[in-house]
Structure 1
Amino acid sequence: MELIKIYKHHLTKRTPLYIIAFVFLLSSEILNVIPPKIIGNIIDDIEKHQLTYPGLFQGVLPLFGIALLHYIVIYIWSSSLFGGEFYIQKVLRKSLFSRTINYLPLKNKHSGNVMTLMNTDISTIGVAYGFGILSFMSTVIGFAVVLFTMSTFVSWKLTLASLAPMPFIIYFVKKLGDATHKKTVDFQSRESALNSELSVFVEGIRLIRIYGLEQVYLKKIHKANRRWKEAGIHFNKTAELYHPMVTTLLRTSYAIAIGYGAYLISRGELTIGQLIAFTMYINLLNWPVTAFGDFINLFQQGNASASRFNRELSTPPTKKQDQVIKSVDSIEFENFNLVIDGKNRLENINVKINKGEIIAIVGKTGSGKSSLLQYLAGEVKGGAGKALLSNVPIENLSQKELSAVVSFCPQHPANLSKNILENIKLANPKATEDEVSKVLTISSLNEELRNSNLTVNSVIGGNGKNLSGGQHQKLSLARAILKKCDLLLLDDVFSSMDAENALSIFTNLLKERKGTTTIFATNNLEQAAVADRIFVLINGEIVESGSHQSLIEEGNWYAKHYNKSKQLTLLGYEERR
């Protein structure tokens, strides 16, 4: 049972509270069965003309005491029980959020699925451990206490006769429980699909408007919304079948009790007061029987959600390295291969990079440049062969450990919907004003701000939608520099800037980071020329490596493309003149 797995992992410490809730719920049910007995005795005294004022007072006064005591008992069991509902939701959300951030590769995450897990599924699990457990306890305790009282203090014959509809209730509840589970799984999958469509729509709203795709995406959302609605209606139709059935069968029990009870009275085996008390006991059975159905429904829904939650967290966490990486002294690959989504991205990589080197990675689009940098940054796994960072296997390092020594500026930077300053200081929240000002200068973002209507306090919108491509990259570059890590990885971060401005920024960046390691992927071969060494990647393999001068002398891929790039640059200068 998936819910039991969650209990073992997260709720065992609350077992004493559940025991307290059970004890006081038992006390509550015992208090419930006392008033019908007292009322039945009073009615018998009335029928026999034996009721006196002192007798009436002695019969009614305990009812007030029971009402007050009942209030206290209910408060204790409810506060002990329902705290677990909110506790488990807090724990599961924390666990899922932590696992998503620290361990699971982002590429494997579907935002709609995560949103559904965070909200709907975890809430459903919480209700199962709150109201669901209450329903279970009420069913067990309520049935036991009421049936014992009915058969012992009234009539066991009448009790057996009145319980004739119960087998039908159990049968229908089992059938409805199975159907509810299936409908719950379908409803949750539809909700995930709807959330995914909404996420894509909101994140890409600018692009959708630019290309006039509003109607296309609205149709997709309407379709997902309609499927979600239909699944929800089918689920509710199934879940709501239970209560009318229970009401009908309990009414049948009332009819049996009244009819057979009248017969027993005529035979002198039952008094009128006992029959009235018995009908009150049947009324008390209404809650345990209803709770039984609620328990089955909530259990099936909770188990379906728990199954989705456990499956999401079933991937083993990345193995943690006992040794803490304090600096990047060397990077080494030997016979290294990288497979992502079943495709070979890198093959037979053999290089060693020393501290302080400036390394350029060039090559055709799709040759594996970004994959190599993403692997070094810990964004992807799946490497085979030797891959060492300061003589420690990269595969054994968590994202957190890598992030402490590696600063990565991706090709398509992401920013939060905050102001520019807050986005820059994500890399170092304690950075001083002078430190921020320095990285703004190095990245040339300060010039962008002066030439526009933006300031460091300007909110950039969702994922930087209020920034141009160049401003986006400069902000990301400023953040990466502010982090001050031993290893800086730049993935074609100057692609949205003009060549002259990009070269100026890059030169200032290298001066600032003198003595530390910088690896950058670029399609600008003139920019690559300033590197200590250049790696040429073609189809995932390094086909050339060396200094700019040595590669020019070899006259292969790099030399040919560099000369073409140089000619195009000179031609551009001539046209501008």
Structure 2
Amino acid sequence: MKRIFKYVCNYKALVIIPSIAMTLAILLDMFNPYLQKAITDKVFIGGNQQLLWPILWGFIGITISRAILGYAKEYLFDVLSAKISIDIKKDLFDHIQSLPFGYFDNMNTGELMSRIGEDVDNVWKSISFGVRLFIENMIYFITASLILLFLDWRLTLICLVAMPPIAILALKFEKKIGESYSKLSDQGVILNTAAQENISGVRLVKAFAREKYEIMKFLRLNQENYNLSMEQNKIMATYFPPIEFLTNVSILLLVVLGGVFVMGDTMSIGTLVAFSGYIWMLVWPMRMLGWLTNIIAQANASAEKIMNIMDIEPEIKNNETPISLPEIKGDIEFKNVSFKYKDEYVLKNINMKIKAGSTVALMGTTGSGKSSIINLIGRYYEATDGSVLVDGHNVKDIDLKDLRSKIAVVSQDTFLFSASIEENIYFGKEASSLEEIKEACKLSCADEFIEALDGKYNTVIGERGIGLSGGQKQRLSIARALIRESSILILDDATSALDMETEYKLLKNLNDRHKNATTFIIAHRISAVKNADQIVYIENGRVAESGTHEELLESKGKYYEIYREQFKNFDALTSNKEVV
């Protein structure tokens, strides 16, 4: 929580003004028991009726003033906590955005959503209620104790006997409840993840008729969540009653011994009435101590989990003096590049030289390292050995924003936002006109199906493009990349869902553009790569062969084998025609 309070320091006015209002309200409240003493001893018992109305007006003035100060205190503290919540969420989200691909390979969405949502809200609740009430009650306790000592030190010390055991119980409670909240928070992440994955994958669940299995799995996780909640409740049930009992002991001692002192004429009835009012200013903080400890412990557990994420240093970031490249031509070179992922080499000694504006096709079996190669260009992952050069500069030296702003990527996993088609394509380049969007869709052959939709470019598509076919989603993703007009275009298996005719038209459109980007095409079909300037076949993380379509066919290597496999029916048909 110490680091969370750094956010509080950013809003000094929102701390000082409500704190002053809170302190004034407490000080005014301290007059109420004294006025009760005065009205009892001097008006009702002493018979001084002239003091009745001044005392009553004093009560009214204190009540109205406390109401105004209380409103200012509550409102401004809520504004403070809301602003801090916004700042924490912004900083946490910004930090998550700065983390590399590798971090998300091992992190599930449900956990991050819990940290940004539930855990930040716990911190908000702590600042808005917990910490503020804790400080308020401490002021009440200390001030009331001093006044009680002034009124009658004997009775005060007797009533305070129960306070140290309450403090000891509160400390023990805070430790145990903190551990419980940490476990419950982790289980909440698991539960949220299961729900998120099942809702996102509901079509798969239904397709395989696995509803019952998923329901039972969720019930087991929910039962574990219930068990941890019950464990937490047992801790509260163990500590709250003793705290309640000890605070009641203080009241009992006050009534019994105060009555004895009044009967012995060592204390006035008015003083006992005032004492009763002040003693509640001690009792209520003690009674609330368990509840406040509960809130603060919950916030502590949440703050720790938030800061665990904030403490993760981005592995990939700009060096101290990055090279600014507002314009990038697209010359790319791999020099003895190797890449290790999870302690295993995925790429080994890759050497390639690609001229700006040329098209390079990468082929190979699944898991051979094709996607890893292109991920190193934009530093989405960092090369373990060797260097990747863009326009003669090592990508590690280029400003990340400049580098990535000149790269457009269409990944294997097509992702579309739950928004209109226009907004999805606009994501590729800010301030794009509708004409630019239409031109990009024409190049990607997406205009064919968009014009057939009722809402055309204003058609809202579902989450991840639900409602569109695989080919339609791929074409929209390609349009989003094309509108970027980048120097480097990466198509990672981006045409796998297209029919061969549409694929041919799309690739032809790319080749016919006036300004060609350096284009990388990862594909498994010969038809998608045969017109590339350079075709590279990757096998077990190494370059097995490289050349043009004709050169690779002549060498009769791996590429030739794939060609024969994909066109064997055509060859057989040709042979039969020749025989006839």
Which residue is equivalent to 2:525?
524
State the alpha-carbon separation in 1 of the partners of residues 383 and 84 from structure 2.
34
* Cα distance in 2 between the residues matched to 1:373 and 1:346: 11
AA in 2 matched with 1:538: E
Partner of 1:264: 261
Q: TM-score normalized by structure 2?
A: 0.92
Name the SS for the 2:204 alignment partner: helix
The one-letter code of the counterpart of 2:327 is S
Cα 1:18/1:446, change in 2 over 3 Å: closer
Q: Is the 8 A contact 2:318 2:396 kept in 1?
A: no
1:276-287 equivalences in 2 (<5 Å): 276-287=273-284
1:300 to 285, 289, 297: 297
**Contact 1:370–1:491 (8 Å) recurs in 2:** yes
Partner of 1:543: 544
Moved more, 444-453 or 72-81: 444-453
Aligned-partner SS, 2:491? strand
3-state DSSP class of the match of 2:324? coil
Unaligned 5+ runs, structure 1:
none
1 CA distance for matches of 2:5 and 2:548? 60
- 1:502 correspondence with 2:499: no
Question: What's the RMSD between the two structures over aligned residues?
Answer: 2.5
C-alpha contact 2:336 2:351 (8 A) present in aligned 1? yes
Q: Could you tell me how far apart the structure 1 residues matched to 2:276 and 2:423 are?
A: 68
Aligned CA distance change for structure 1 residues 412 and 271 (closer, same or farther; 3 Å): same
Partner of 1:4, secondary structure, is coil
Aligned pairs, number: 571
**Letter paired with 1:347:** K
Q: Give 2:28's match in structure 1, choosing from 31, 38, 44.
A: 31
- CA shift digits 1:76-113 (9 cap, x unpaired): 33334332211111011111222222334333431111
8 Å contact from structure 1 (residues 138, 291) kept in 2: no
CA distance in 1, matches of 2:439, 2:42: 95
Query: Over residues 180-228 of structure 1, what are the superposed CA-to-partner deviations in whole Å (9 max), with x where a residue is unaligned?
Result: 1011111111111111011111111112211212222222222222222
Deviates more, 1:389-398 or 1:269-278: 389-398
- How far did 1:27 drift? 2.4
With over 3 angstroms needed to count, the CA separation of the structure-2 counterparts of 1:457 and 1:18, relative to structure 1, is: closer
Confirm or deny that 1:69 pairs with 2:65.
yes
Match for 1:211: what amino acid?
F
Cα distance, 1:468–1:161 mapped onto 2, change above 3 Å: same
Question: Secondary structure in 2 aligned to 1:60?
Answer: helix
Stretch deviating more after TM superposition (15-24 or 259-268) = 15-24
Which deviations, in whole Å up to 9, do the C-alpha atoms of 1:339-381 show, x marking residues without a partner? 2333322111122222111111111221111222233244434
d(CA) in 1 for partners of 2:75 and 2:418? 40
Residue 395 and residue 234 in structure 1: after superposition, are their counterparts in 2 closer, same or farther (change >3 A)? farther
Match of 1:374 in 2: 375
More deviation, 331-340/352-361: 331-340
Change (3 A) 1:450 1:29: closer
* Partner amino acid, structure 1, of 2:253: I
Residue pair 1:377, 1:408 contacting (<8 A) in 2 also: no
Assess, with a 3 A threshold, how the Cα gap between structure 1 residues 46 and 400 changes in structure 2: closer, same or farther: same
The answer to whether structure 1 residue 435 and structure 2 residue 459 are counterparts is no
Q: What letter is aligned with 2:372?
A: S
> Are residues 1:162 and 2:163 paired?
no
SS at match of 2:2: helix
The alignment-based identity, stated in percent, is 25
1:50 equivalent among 46, 49, 52: 46
Q: Which amino acid aligns with 1:45?
A: K
- The 10-residue stretch of structure 1 (425-434 or 154-163) with the greater mean CA deviation from structure 2: 425-434
Indicate whether 1:324 and 2:300 are aligned: no
Q: Match of 1:483, SS?
A: coil
Shift of 1:411: 1.5
Q: Deviations over 1:157-189 (max 9, x none)?
A: 000001111112111111111111011111111
Structure 1 residues 453 and 277, CA gap change in structure 2 (3 angstroms): closer
Pair 1:575–1:20, CA change in 2 (3 A)? farther
Moved more, 433-442 or 84-93: 433-442
Partner of 2:312: 315
Separation in 2 of the partners of 1:217 and 1:88? 38
Unpaired runs of 5+ residues, structure 2, are none
Distance in 1, Cα, partners of 2:354 & 2:157: 85
The TM-score normalised by the length of structure 1 is: 0.92
